[in-house]
Amino acid sequence: MLYAVISQDVENSLAGRQAARPAHLERLQALRNEGRLVIAGPHPAIDNNDPGNAGFSGSLVVAEFDNLESAQSWADSDPYLKAGVYQSVTVKPFKQVF
């Protein structure tokens, strides 16, 4: 089943994001290589595809997991969470219609 991992950043998270980004992307690449990743990306903090120093306000990942518990466990081990980039992470089932 698909699950949405919806993360909200702390304020001024850009430096923390940059530091933890390689490890964060490595995990996403693993999901992609396994054919489980549907979509992933950050939410720009301003209405611009390249927010520059404004940074990002959070992230969205939609991926396939065996169950909610495994999706939550995956989200709980995100390098951004461990680095203090995320202030909150919500994981919930997602039904893709289109």
Tens of pLDDT, residues 39-71: 999 999 999 999 999 999 999 999 999 999 999
pTM above 0.85, yes or no: yes
Name every residue whose Cβ is closer than 8 Å to that of residue 16 and which is 6 or more positions away in sequence: 10, 80, 83, 84, 85
Q: What pairs with residue 92 in β-bridges? A: 4
Work out whether the CA dihedral 79, 98, 33, 94 comes out positive or negative.
Answer: positive
Taking residue 10's Cβ as centre, other Cβ atoms within 10 Å add up to 13
Angle, alpha carbons 88-90-92 (nearest 5°): 175
Contact 78, 13 (CB under 8 A): no
3-state secondary structure (DSSP) of residue 25: helix
H helices within 34-95, ranges in order?
68-76, 79-82
pLDDT digits (tens, 9 = 90+) for 67-91: 999 999 999 999 999 999 999 999 9
Average pLDDT, the chain: 97
> Which domains does the chain possess?
2-94 (3.30.70.1060)
